[in-house]
Structure 1
Amino acid sequence: MSEWAAKRFWTEATVTQGEDGFGIALDTRPVKTPAKAALIVPTRPLAAAIAAEWNAVAEKIDPRDMPMTRSANAALDKVAHQHAEVADMIAAYGETDLLCYRATTPQELVLRQSEEWDPLLDWAESVLHARLRPVPGIMPAPQDDAAMQNLRMLVHAQGIFELTALHDLVALSGSLVLGLAAQKKARHPSELWQISRLDEAWQAEVWGADEDAEKLAAIKRAAFLHAEEFYCLASEKSA
């Protein structure tokens, strides 16, 4: 039996504007989230991107082809109702940030981590006012309380759409620093993703690439780049 999917019933998806932000109408019917909340986003560019996804539907609605809609739904149905909990979960990554846990051997990997990761830790100190300390090995090590508090404040200050994007940026990369660097455009998002994959790239160089791992990495990379784009669209000023 084939899986049921709602079929296209509208002629055109358009952006609407109200007091609370921008919505999407399917002809005259406003789009709602799965939890039946009005799908209202903070900027016209984000609403236009969502409307484009609905206009691209050929026959059946497939959420997998509508990443902007999915992320907006997550912001409104999930993050909006547990903002503090989500922010706490994201901020906690700073205590075990990927960039802080360093190999002790071989020396080439040690040097490569230092060359690629140290500049981001320096950036975090100068821009985020949070100096994180690299440590050898993988055992958890406490970080400076003031640095953690500064990072926590930055995360908690974000709105639901920005926080939704940050959640994915951090969870996919394993690094709060990299997630915030993507939001603040410290580096191109593709470069930041590559930096997060340094250890995996090293293993592939030494042992050879694994086809399944490469496919999974490609999926994660696309999700990381989408999260950065979603953040940018949600953060732009209304046009």
Structure 2
Amino acid sequence: MAEWAAKRFWKAANVVPEGESFAVHLDGRPLKTPAKAALLLPSEPLAHAVAAEWEAQGDKINPATMPFTRSANSAIDRVAPQHAEVTEIVAAYGESDLICYRAESPAALVARQAEAWDPLVDWARDVLNAPLIMTTGVMHVRQPATSVEVLRALVKRQDAFALTALHDLTALSGSLIIGFAALEGQATPEELWALSRVDEDWQIAQWGEDEEATEVAARKRGDFLHAAALHRISRPTA
């Protein structure tokens, strides 16, 4: 049997200002989230991105082609009402951040990790005020309590849309510091994604590519770049 899909029922999607937020209307009717909350977006660029996704639908609705709509729904329905819980999930990455765990050998990999990650460690110390301890191997190293608390406070400060983006940036990269670097524009999203892939790229260089792993990595890269774009276009304008 053919898979059922909802059919397009509107002719035009338009952005409508609502106070300090923006709504998307389908033939004059405002969009709601799956939980029936008003889909109010914090910036006009994000609202236009959501409207463009609805405008681009064919005769049948394909949610897979609507990433900004899905992210907005998640921010409103899931992250906003569970802000404290999501904060703890994201902040926990600061206690075992990818960039703190270094290889003991070979020397070329050790050097590659240092070149990629030492500037991020320095940035965390000098800009985020969160000095981190590096170690070799995979045994857990306890990070300074003050640094952990500073990072948690920075996560907590994020609004629902920024926290939605930060959650994905951090979970996909394995690094809260890389997540914050993406939010702060320390490097391009492509560059930051490459920094998170130092170990994997090293293995590929030594042993060759695995087709399935390559497909998974490509999906994760796309999701990482989307999360960075979500943050960039969701910032409220002054």
Structure-2-length-normalised TM-score: 0.98
Gap runs ≥5 in structure 2: none
CA shift for structure 1 position 236: 4.3
Question: 1:203-222 CA deviation, whole Å, 9 max, x = no partner?
Answer: 00001111111111111000
Q: Aligned partners of 1:20 and 1:192: how far apart in 2?
A: 32
Please name the residue that 1:32 is paired with: 32
Cα-to-partner distance string for 1:4-39 (whole Å, 9 max, x where unaligned): 111111111000111251110001111111111111
Which residue pairs with 1:168 in the alignment? 168
Question: Which residue is 2:97 aligned to?
Answer: 97
Does the alignment pair 1:136 with 2:136? yes
Q: 1:133 deviation in Å?
A: 1.2
Q: Deviations over 1:176-200 (max 9, x none)?
A: 0000000000011100000100000
Amino acid at match of 2:98: L
Equivalents in 2 of 1:78, 1:200: separation in Å? 32
Q: Give the aligned partner of residue 52 of structure 1.
A: 52
Q: How many residues align?
A: 238
Task: Name the amino acid aligned to 2:41.
Answer: V
1:16-64 deviation per Cα after TM superposition (whole angstroms, max 9, x unaligned): 1112511100011111111111110111110010000000001111111
Q: Which amino acid in 2 is paired with 1:155? A: V
Whether the 8 Å CA contact 1:24–1:51 is kept in 2: the answer is: yes
- 2:8 alignment partner, SS class: coil
Task: Determine if contact 1:129/1:147 at 8 Å carries over to the other structure.
Answer: yes
Q: Which amino acid aligns with 1:4?
A: W
- Name the residue aligned to 1:8: 8
Aligned equivalents of 1:237, 1:5: Cα separation in 2: 36
Shift of 1:107: 1.1
Kindly indicate whether the alpha-carbon contact (under 8 Å) linking 1:20 and 1:40 is maintained by their aligned counterparts in 2: no
Could you list the structure 1 runs, at least 4 aligned residues long, displaced by more than 3 angstroms after superposition: none
SS at structure 1 position matched to 2:24: strand
Matched, 1:115 2:115: yes
Asked whether the 8 Å contact 1:170–1:176 carries over to 2, the reply is yes
State the distance in 1 between where 2:129 and 2:63 align.
Answer: 39
Alignment match, 1:87: 87
Q: How many Å separate the matches in 2 of 1:15 and 1:139?
A: 51
- Match of residue 77 from structure 2: 77
Partner residue in 2 for 1:226: 226
- Aligned residue type for 1:9: F
How many Å apart are 1:81 and its aligned residue? 1.1
Percent identity at matched positions? 54
Which ranges in structure 1 are unaligned for 5 or more consecutive residues? none
Aligned to 2:206: 206
Amino acid at match of 2:212: D
TM-score, normalisation: structure 1:
0.98
RMSD: 0.9
Q: 1-side partners of 2:99 and 2:65: how far apart?
A: 32
Partner of 1:155: 155
